[in-house]
Amino acid sequence: MSLELLSRYAGNVPRYTSYPTAPHFTDSVGPDVYAGWLAALGGADRLSLYIHIPYCDRLCWFCACHTKHTLKYAPVASYLEALHAEIATVGGLVSRDARVSAIHLGGGSPTLLAPGDMRALKAALADAFVLDEGVEISVEMDPNDLDEPRYDALADIGMTRASLGVQDFEPRVQQAINRIQTFGQTRAVVEAVRARGVRSVNCDIVYGLPHQTLETLENTVRDIVSLAPDRVALFGYAHVPWMKKHQQLIPETSLPDGPMRFRLMERAAEMLAEAGLVAIGIDHFARPDDSLARAAAGGRLRRNFQGYTDDQATAIVGLGASSIGGLSEGYVQNIPATGIYEKTVLAGKLAAVRGFALDGEDRMRAWVIERIMCDFGFEADELAQRFGHRSAAILAEAQAAAGNDSMLRFEDGRFQIRAAARPFARSIAARFDAYLGAGGARHSAAV
């Protein structure tokens, strides 16, 4: 059955961290439009800030993030000066009635920042925005960057969640992706952040990497489980060399084929479940008492540019080069090129360069796709309550899909993906994507 499902669903489709997806953003959303969206935020809004640090002191060949390699700190320091300017400009447009409930530092490698710069960044955010007393602060961490002063700085800024990319501990795999990171290094990071009061640790595992086998992945999962993580993300490697040229350094002949990718995913998921972690959506796992697991059980799971989250913020404000934000009016992305970004924000201007303004149809389809990605289905009554007469078209599409596919059902007013097909939720969500196929965008494999 797995191979039959693989042949049916495992095409290349978006990851659906937004709808419409980023390839459909246009320059119709620029600084003036974004300024209006920011000014409309008020006391009813809770904000989530995403801060992008687009630098790494080593370049991982598997990475599809917007980042660049540097062995000097001067470019990072220059970038931080510009980032502070943008924070001040954006914060000046947002009402002090809108409070920040979450901050996420991503990249790139935020942990390459000097300790003093970490503290200064948190202070700049606190000056420009009103932060909730219990603001959640998550940081993507590279063990190779970390030392005692940086651990202390992360504790000082109030980090509540540490997110560690592991990928695979097998040396041959690590060499093939230029990501050398031992289990000992990783364990030391987990111990150091927990000793400083960090209450949540997330580890990322990637399947589908070059030279990866069931044995190497099983060994990696066992090692990760031994660290007792609160969350684990199990991502499929997205091989997109047409978009990320450094991925051309990974020979396609070294990558597992489609059936092996699927088996790698299945086996890792089995082991994580056996370890007592609860499956969340298509690629996350969490301890039963973790807030992500509780959100999933309560129908409050969300999906955004950082993947699955329990963050209930009404707006995501992106800060830094290439960062993407999402507000009730639509999506906005900053200038990707760091040099142009720096000149723009240092001149006191917003860096918004493209985006997408949502209409009623977009919002409805975005809700349906998010519920499919989070809950593997949706209730017809809730859809109708939210979107009124517009919902009739979506319900007709859902009923037609269920009538033509045994892995889908529409019964008792609910559209639902059957359990066997849940790993392919991206492909099923794509059936409700009115923009798919427009504009020539290319995507990664569904599993």
**Would you state the structure tokens that stand for residue 415, as one six-digit string?**
């559209």
Mean pLDDT of 211-230: 97
Q: Which two tokens stand for residue 368?
A: 């349906």
> Could you tell me the residue ranges of all domains in the chain?
15-357, 360-435
Could you give phi then psi for residue 212, rounded to 5 degrees? -75, 140
Q: Is residue 445 over pLDDT 80?
A: no
Enumerate long-range contacts of 72-78, CB under 8 Å, 24 or more apart: 73/114, 75/338, 76/112, 76/113, 76/117, 77/117, 78/342
Integer CA distances (angstroms), 36 to 22, 286, 334, in order: 21, 38, 16
Q: What is the pLDDT of residue 439?
A: 60
Q: Beta 315-319 vs 46-53: how paired, if at all?
A: parallel
pLDDT given at position 59: 81
pLDDT in tens, 141-197: 999 999 999 999 999 999 999 999 999 999 999 999 989 999 999 999 999 999 999
> Quick one: what percent of the chain has pLDDT higher than 90?
85
* Cα–Cα distance for residue pair 124/113, rounded to 1 Å: 15
Nearest-angstrom CA–CA distance, 225 and 222: 5
pLDDT, tens only, 7-32: 788 778 899 999 999 999 999 999 99
List, for residues 291-328, the tens digit of each pLDDT value.
999 999 999 999 999 899 999 999 999 999 999 999 99
pLDDT at 442 over 90: no
- Indicate if the pLDDT at residue 282 is higher than 80: yes
pLDDT given for residue 67 in this prediction:
85
Higher pLDDT, 239 or 187: 187
Confidence band for 359, pLDDT divided at 50, 70 and 90? very high
pLDDT band at 443 (very low <50, low <70, confident <90, very high): low
Comparing 4-8, 188-192, 354-358, the range with the smallest average pLDDT is 4-8
Mean pLDDT over 68-79 rounds to 94
Residues 370 and 376: their CA atoms lie apart, in Å, by: 9
pLDDT at 438 over 90: no
* Residue 4: per-residue pLDDT: 77
* Predicted pLDDT of residue 447: 66
What count of other Cβ atoms lies within 10 Å of the Cβ of residue 7? 11
Which position has the higher pLDDT, 377 or 14? Answer: 377
pLDDT at 360 exceeding the cut of 90: yes
Q: Are 153 and 119 in contact (CB under 8 A)?
A: yes
Structure tokens at 51: 């801060």
The identity of residue 120, as a single letter, is A
Provide mean pLDDT across the span 334-359. Answer: 98
Mean pLDDT of 207-223: 96
Strands 231-236 and 284-286: antiparallel
- Terminal Cα-to-Cα distance of the chain (whole angstroms): 15
Q: For 401-413, what is the mean pLDDT?
A: 94
Predicted pLDDT of residue 302: 96
- Mean predicted lDDT score pLDDT of the chain: 94
Compute the average pLDDT of residues 210-235. 97
- Fold classification of 360-435 is Arc Repressor Mutant, subunit A (1.10.10)
- Averaged pLDDT, 135-145: 95
15-357 fold: pyruvate-formate lyase- activating enzyme (3.80.30)
